[in-house]
């Protein structure tokens, strides 16, 4: 499964370079809603038990703390706290001196049959950065190293969800 980054391929590189240029010229960064600010990937399917236990184990492995878990008949929602992390090298090159990252995992039923526990799983990674000399947090397009970090997490999630013991 390929991740969806709302600004991919050549357009992502061109967009990143343009954003760096604009930031350098104007000295400011904008708010949310811009392309490339959320890493999103479909992780496949799984039972609610597997999704809940394995997702939390992987998030713990990457030192993300769970802030909220909600489970209804239509949704399993897992959200981490904003993790204060050291900026990646490519973020530092852009003038970033602090970064916050959060992960949200959603699982929704694929079918409505009796006893059905087959759920589609979606991963979203979010990021905020603070620039040297600034106090405000900015939502900006993700750096290649941050994208690779999220890809490592999703690869581990996919592997763990496809293997291991199941509870039915």
Each residue's pLDDT tens digit, 104-144: 999 999 876 655 678 999 999 999 999 999 999 999 999 99
Half-sphere exposure of 114 (CA within 13 A, CB side): 0
How is domain 4-162 classified at the CATH fold level?
A: Alpha-D-Glucose-1,6-Bisphosphate; Chain A, domain 4 (3.30.530)
Distance separating alpha carbons of residues 37 and 115, to the nearest angstrom = 38
Distance separating alpha carbons of residues 161 and 124, to the nearest angstrom = 17
**Residue 64: count of CB within 10 angstroms of its CB:** 21
Per-residue buried b or exposed e for 65-97, using 16+ beta carbons within 10 Å of the residue's own CB: eeeeeeeeeeebebbbebbebebbebbeebbbe
What is 107-159 written as a DSSP string?
EEES---TT---EEEEEEEEEEEEETT--S-B--PPPHHHHHHHHHHHHHHHH
- Of 36-40, 83-87, 107-111, 115-119, which gets the smallest average pLDDT? 115-119
The two structure tokens encoding residue 12 = 């992502």
Please identify which residue in the block is written with the tokens 């897992």: 78
Three-class SS state of 89: helix
Please tell me the predicted confidence (pLDDT) of residue 44. 94
> What would you report as the CA-atom Rg of the chain, rounded to the nearest whole angstrom?
17
Please tell me the predicted confidence (pLDDT) of residue 42. 97
pLDDT beyond 60 at 65: yes
Q: pTM of the full predicted structure?
A: 0.74
CB 60 within 8 A of CB 34: no
């Amino acid at each position: 499964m390929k991740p969806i980054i709302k600004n991919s391929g050549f357009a992502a590189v061109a967009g990143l370079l343009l954003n760096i240029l604009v930031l350098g010229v104007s000295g400011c960064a904008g708010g949310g809603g811009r392309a490339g600010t959320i890493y999103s990937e479909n992780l496949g399917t799984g039972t609610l038990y597997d999704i809940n236990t394995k997702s939390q184990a992987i998030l713990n492995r990457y030192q993300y703390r769970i802030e909220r878990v909600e489970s209804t008949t239509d949704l399993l929602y897992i959200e981490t706290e904003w993790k204060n992390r050291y900026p990646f090298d490519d973020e530092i090159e852009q003038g970033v001196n602090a970064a916050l990252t959060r992960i949200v995992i959603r699982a929704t039923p694929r079918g409505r049959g009796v006893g059905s526990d087959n759920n589609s799983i979606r991963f979203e990674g979010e990021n905020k950065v603070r620039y040297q000399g600034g106090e405000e947090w900015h939502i900006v397009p993700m750096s290649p190293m941050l994208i690779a970090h999220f890809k490592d997490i999703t690869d581990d999630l996919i592997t763990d969800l496809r293997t291991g013991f199941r509870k039915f």
